[in-house]
Amino acid sequence: MTAKQDFVAQRERMVVEQIEGRGVKDTAVLQAMRSVPRELFVPEAYKQHAYDDSPLPIPAQQTISQPYVVALMISALKLKPKARVLEIGTGSGYAAALLSRIVEEVHTVERIPELVDYARHRLQLLNYTNVTVHLADGTRGLPQYAPYDGIVVAAGGPQVPTALQAQLRVGGRLVIPVGEIERRQQLVCVMRLTEKDYERRELGAVAFVPLIGDEGW
C-alpha cells in the first residue's frame, strides 16, 4: 500500500469510527471529511498522526482541532449547498476546506499572519477556490459579506460576540465555544429567529484556545 492509499484508508476509518460512530449523520459533512486530506493541513512532523482522535500542533503555538469536534460544529450549522459561511479562527485551514466542499462560499478570518499564509498555501494546493482567507480581528466578523447562513468560531470566548450575532441571516446558526475560564467552555449554538430574537442551546463541553479580539479575551 502506498502512503497515499494508507492516508485514504486512515481517513475512512476516522469517519466511520470517530465521526459516524459518535452520532454525526450529516451526509454532506461525512462526504467532505472523506474527501479533504487532513494530512496536508498538519506539519510534516505530525503527518503520521493526521487521523488520530485528537488535536495536533500547528505553527504559531496553535492547534488543528480534533476531527470529531470539527464535524460536530459544522453539522450543527445545518448548512445548505448555496450557503455563505463565515469561519472565525482559520488556523490550519482544514475546517475551511471542509466547509468549501459543503457550501458555495466560505470566508475565514485569522489574526495571525503566519497562519493566514499557511492556510492559503494549502487551500491553493487543493484548488479550493471558493474560500477566501482574511487577516483581521475575527470577533468583529466580516460585515461587508454579511449576512451569513452559518458562522463557526474555532476559539473560546467569554461570551457570544454581538457583532457575530448581528451578521447572521434570519434562520442562520452560529456555533461557538463559550466560557468564563479560558480553555474550558460549552459549545453553544445560537439560531437567529427574527431580527431581534435568538435561540441558544448547548452542545457539550469543549476546550479551545482563547478567542482574542475586541469581543474576546
Tell me the catalytic residues.
65
What is the pairing mode between strands 62-64 and 56-58?
antiparallel
Q: 58 by DSSP, 3-state: which? A: strand
Length of the chain: 217
Q: Which of 183, 168, 188, 173 is nearest to 217 (CA)?
A: 183
Distance CA 209, CA 89 (A): 10
Residues 47, 87 contacting (CB under 8 angstroms): no
Cβ-based neighbours of 124, under 8 Å, separated by 6 or more: none
Residues 80, 149 contacting (CB under 8 angstroms): yes
Cβ-based neighbours of 204, under 8 Å, separated by 6 or more: 72, 186, 187
CA 148, chain centre distance (Å): 15
